[in-house]
Structure 1
Amino acid sequence: MATNTSFQLFSSSKDKPSLGLGFLESSEPQLPPPPPSVEVLSSEVSSSVKYTVEPVNLDGLTLLKGRVSTKEVLGLPNSDLVPGIYEGGLKLWEGSLDLVKALRSEIQNGCLSFEGKRVLELGCGHGLPGIFACLESAAEVHFQDFNAEVLRCLTIPNVNANLLEKAKPETVSEVRFFAGDWGEIHQLLPHARESEINLTSSSEHGQASAYDVILMAETIYSISAQRNLYGLIKKVFLYRVIQPLLLIVNS
């Protein structure tokens, strides 16, 4: 007699989690422990780092993108990535622009609405997809990046510049900023804590508290990052029968 088995993105053993894909499971170098997870307040924006801004045109939509020096912010050469130390948040990755264009197209086609939604942007950097969600009347937009310095020196100034320029006072979203590794950041994210509680208490047809939309652009580069991302999504992104949640990934 056949039995149903639940789908698992990652197989695992007691000693070592596995993707089930041997050719991808070469050992990775040991990384330093991640920085502690913290909420960065909007008032903590850096005043000591030079921040310049320029417009970027996205098929008729103009947003502002900031520019800061990696060396000035982190004391590192202008590198895209230093694993375990700097995750590329100061660079404007092309995928984030493509994601904004895709979101805008979905809205114009009537397939997507941010109005009243809770939105989480992971690996936000400049935060352009999250900023777009704010401009489309999302109720809450939470920005996450590995480095608190990225949030203080780039993300917060960029969010402020765009919303000051374009947001309507009556549709201003609640914005918050969180720094830390995907393996630990759920301890700070408000709706991750709520969703873990409601996971056991909500009925099959009930409504659990979680994020409605998760935005990501060019965030994955290692097997360990995939495992942490998958674990985080399970904690913050719950299926609801009343209103299915939307996951948008662009990598």
Structure 2
Amino acid sequence: MAFSFSFAGDDIDENESVGDQAANLPNSTGSILPQPQPSDSSASAFPVQGKPLLPPTHHDLSLMLSRLPSKIAYSTLTVDLEGGRGTIEIPRRELWDVRVQLMAEEENNESVSESQAGLGEHDVKTGIYEGGFKSWESSVDLVKVLASENAQQVLLRDPCFVAELGCGTALPSLALFQWAIAGRKNNTTATGESPSPLVLTLADYNPSVLYLVTLPNFILAWALEKREEVPVLEEAFTTCEGELELTADVLTAFTDFLTSSQITLSFLSGAWSPEFVDLLYSSSIVHGSTMASARPQTLVIGAETIYSPFALESFMNTLLTVLRRERNERPTGYAAAIIAAKKLYFGVGGSLDDFVDKMRAAGAVVDTLREESSGVRRGVVKCLLP
């Protein structure tokens, strides 16, 4: 099943899209990204009759870093925050740069077909490509809500575990990451205290999305925030405007920063399922002693994850499993989910109202945080378990 939402202004990448993207995409060395074997489970996120789905898989950060290209091109998206909070500039790897990388690797690897490396016209091809190369307007709505919910202060005050499901370009998590970087710098300068731990888990159905855009975007966010403080970044930015060289020294500085700042990045691919939740916990330090202290904050975020009834049901079950696990295992902490979506996905069947109704029927408390009535109607809701 393949379709396009076909809404004006829906894709904030100015009409560029990477669709029809098969799961087995080449990495920057010219070989195929390691792919798990499809699962026969029908409880996963995007079931297609007769088609197996990718099982949940954890991706090692050091291995992902080793497969990056020598440089990446980028642009920045300006998000106007509300309530006098100013703006935030969020970097994203250019889609044409992804295209160039994939086409170059296709030439060096005869086993990769043109359709695997090509950029098609579909927003989503169910069970194959789930839209992760695009940045959607609901993800910008989510950034604005996170700012209004004072996420910047929470990131400094308490140990935080954040999981973005269906992350794609990961705009909301990138905003949190940038606020954490700025907050750690200011807090360390003012108090000399060590920052509270932050675990960011980025999950997308397609491993290729994590390798080609999600991780590069995090490196870009760090580099732009720290370019005046880290000497190796000055040279890495000077070659060409809008490009960052990913030298060994740059990548080492990136991982050193994560360690010293107590920030953990974890990457998961595959379909949503109970096995996905188990991997979500086992692949992070969410149960470590540092996260068990004080009042741990757990936040699950997602944008454009409920576009079909199949996706809605699977996403909702995964969300409820996480919230129940948090309530049972860390009763002194705080756990919530903030979800952004369209009011209705025409021709596909998903809707935000349906999601809210089903969550409330399952016992969750759901509050509306934001509504957008201009253009395509959208909303952002917060979900809690009493």
Q: Structures share a fold, TM > 0.5? A: yes
Q: 1:214 aligns to what?
A: 300
Indicate how the Cα distance of structure 1 residues 54 and 92 shifts in structure 2: closer, same or farther if over 3 A, else same.
same
For each residue in 1:178-213, what CA deviation from the matched residue of structure 2 results, as whole angstroms up to 9, or x when unmatched?
101012422321269999x9xxxxxxxx99x99700
Indicate how the Cα distance of structure 1 residues 232 and 31 shifts in structure 2: closer, same or farther if over 3 A, else same.
farther
Give 1:89 shift: 0.3
Q: 2:368 aligns to what?
A: none
- Matched residues in 1 for 2:297 and 2:52: separation? 27
Q: Is the 8 A contact 2:305 2:312 kept in 1?
A: no
Q: 1:68 aligns to what?
A: 95
Q: 1:30 aligns to what?
A: 49
Greater helix share, structure number: 2
* Aligned mate of 1:182, from 272, 276, 295: 272
Q: 1:250 aligns to what?
A: 340
Deviates more, 1:165-174 or 1:240-249: 165-174
Unpaired runs of 5+ in structure 1?
Answer: 1-15, 18-27, 198-205
Unpaired runs of 5+ in structure 2?
Answer: 1-41, 81-86, 104-115, 181-196, 230-256, 342-386
Q: Is the 8 A contact 1:44 1:152 kept in 2?
A: yes
Indicate how the Cα distance of structure 1 residues 210 and 31 shifts in structure 2: closer, same or farther if over 3 A, else same.
farther
Give 1:224 shift: 1.8
For each residue in 1:132-183, what CA deviation from the matched residue of structure 2 results, as whole angstroms up to 9, or x when unmatched?
2223336110000000000001101111110222269564521111101012
Q: 1:39 aligns to what?
A: 58
Q: Is the 8 A contact 2:199 2:284 kept in 1?
A: no
Q: 1:159 aligns to what?
A: 218
* Aligned mate of 1:134, from 174, 177, 187: 177
Give 1:236 shift: 2.0
1:141 is paired with a residue whose SS is strand
Q: 2:209 aligns to what?
A: 150
1:53 and 2:74 correspond = yes
1:84 is paired with a residue whose SS is coil
Report how many aligned residue pairs link the two structures: 214
Give 1:241 shift: 4.5
What is the TM-score of this pair, normalised by structure 1? 0.72
Q: Is the 8 A contact 2:135 2:171 kept in 1?
A: no
- Matched residues in 1 for 2:89 and 2:212: separation? 22
Q: CA RMSD in A?
A: 3.5
* Aligned mate of 1:223, from 295, 309, 333: 309
Q: 2:359 aligns to what?
A: none
For each residue in 1:106-140, what CA deviation from the matched residue of structure 2 results, as whole angstroms up to 9, or x when unmatched?
218x9x72332100000001112112222333611
> After the TM superposition, which segments of 4 or more aligned residues of structure 1 sit over 4 Å from their partners?
48-51, 167-170, 191-195
